[in-house]
């Protein structure tokens, strides 16, 4: 397998710039203007409904968990609370970061700030990080959010099902930022005029965590940490279960999301937690379409996309064998098959860097 350096400051970070792969236009399925405008129409109601359900459920599960503590009867309620804290907040962070979840700007910002705290992602840093992920999706040396690298680090992926490495990295970055410094990779995509805001947010968060730890020490119980902090670990499994499937085992260094992104049909509960991000090709093609319009977008452009995986189990059946072969240093990936109704994938939309 050809060597890949995924760091943004490494030698592979310059190759996409030199070869004009970075920051290029992506293929998008043509949609009539009037239909596109309708699909991009934002609304507060779906997001308000889901947010009320989410926070009400979190409050109820935490309240029951606290009241039953330390009995094992509290475990199911902490598990449910953790999934909403450590997984549903991932999709809320994502959609509100795009500014599409709500029509009202302050609502997007409010939920984005809460979700960023739960996921231990500095809201300033990750706004720019995710923007880079969309402009340079799975381009080696440019995309800071690649999960399944080649060869894949299966231990890292496995540990993150318990949130261990991602959360620890988030807390480490928080402390680094609170000390008044930025990580060198962060500095490659965060404008200098936003650095002070990154530091200010990190210091506020550090104070909240310090207060939570102090309370836990005073009462001699980890209960406060079960409410703030630890759910990022024990509730991370669902967002990893769905998130790994977004791009794993697909092509890198291409300019067509049909080749490097996956759409998967999932059950209604997981769709609520994931906020329809299972329609991931559709989201990457048209990121300004709100989460509640993604099923309609899927119906509109499905004729131009690879067939969706009918379930997460089916998707993992196709992903895991490829990751295993990549782990054995085979330079392979899944080549997506487009339907006869699709605009053919053109080699010109790939790039010499493509494997």
Tell me what pLDDT residue 16 has.
73
- Mean pLDDT (whole number) for 98-103: 97
Query: Are 104 and 48 a contacting pair, CB within 8 Å?
Result: no
Q: Give the pLDDT score at 36.
A: 97
Specify the pLDDT at position 12: 79
The share of the chain scoring above pLDDT 70, in percent, equals: 96
Rounded-to-integer distance, Cα 351 and Cα 244, Å: 24
Q: Over range 245-265, report the average pLDDT.
A: 96
Residues in the chain: 355
Mean pLDDT of 237-245: 97
Alpha helices in 11-69 (DSSP H): 15-18, 33-39, 45-68
Signed CA dihedral, 212, 213, 215, 220: sign only: positive
- At 19 the pLDDT is 65
DSSP-derived letter for residue 87 is I
* Whether the predicted pLDDT of 351 surpasses 60: no
- How far is CA 341 from each of CA 27, 293, 337, 338, rounded to the nearest angstrom? 16, 23, 12, 8
Q: Which of 171, 170, 51 is nearest to 112 (CA)?
A: 51
Tell me the CA distances in angstroms from 40 to 35, 44, 169, 279, 305, one per residue in order.
9, 13, 35, 15, 20
Dump pLDDT digits (tens) for 282-296.
999 999 999 999 999
């Amino acid at each position: 397998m050809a060597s890949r350096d995924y760091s943004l400051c490494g030698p592979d970070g310059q190759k996409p710039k030199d070869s004009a792969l970075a920051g290029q236009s992506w293929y998008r399925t043509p949609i009539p203007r009037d239909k596109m405008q309708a699909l991009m129409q934002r609304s507060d109601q779906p997001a308000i409904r889901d947010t009320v359900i989410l926070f009400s459920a979190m409050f109820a599960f935490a309240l029951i968990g606290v009241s039953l503590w330390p009995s094992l009867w509290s475990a199911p309620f902490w598990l449910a609370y953790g999934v909403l804290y450590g997984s549903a907040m991932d999709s809320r962070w994502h959609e509100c970061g795009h500014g599409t979840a709500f029509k009202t700007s302050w609502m997007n910002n409010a939920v984005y700030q809460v979700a960023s705290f739960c996921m231990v992602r500095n809201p300033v840093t990750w706004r720019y990080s995710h923007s880079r992920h969309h402009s340079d999706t799975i381009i080696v040396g440019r995309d800071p959010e690649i999960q399944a690298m080649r060869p894949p680090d299966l231990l890292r992926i496995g540990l993150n099902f318990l949130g261990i490495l991602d959360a620890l990295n988030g807390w480490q970055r928080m402390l680094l930022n609170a000390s008044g410094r930025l990580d060198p990779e962060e500095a490659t995509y965060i404008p200098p005029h936003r650095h002070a805001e990154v530091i200010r947010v990190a210091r506020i968060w550090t104070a909240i965590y310090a207060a939570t730890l102090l309370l836990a020490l005073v009462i001699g119980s980890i209960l406060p940490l079960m409410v703030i902090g630890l759910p990022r670990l024990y509730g991370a499994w669902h967002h990893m279960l769905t998130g790994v499937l977004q791009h794993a085992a697909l092509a890198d260094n291409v300019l067509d999301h049909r080749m490097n992104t996956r759409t998967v049909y999932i059950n209604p509960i997981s769709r609520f937690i994931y906020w329809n991000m299972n329609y991931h090709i559709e989201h990457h093609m048209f990121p300004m379409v709100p989460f509640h319009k993604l099923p309609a977008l899927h119906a509109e452009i499905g004729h131009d996309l690879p067939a969706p995986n009918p379930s997460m189990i089916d998707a993992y059946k196709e992903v895991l064998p490829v990751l295993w072969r990549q782990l054995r240093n085979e330079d392979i990936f899944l080549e997506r098959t487009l339907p006869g109704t699709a605009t053919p994938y053109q080699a010109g939309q790939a790039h010499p860097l493509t494997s």
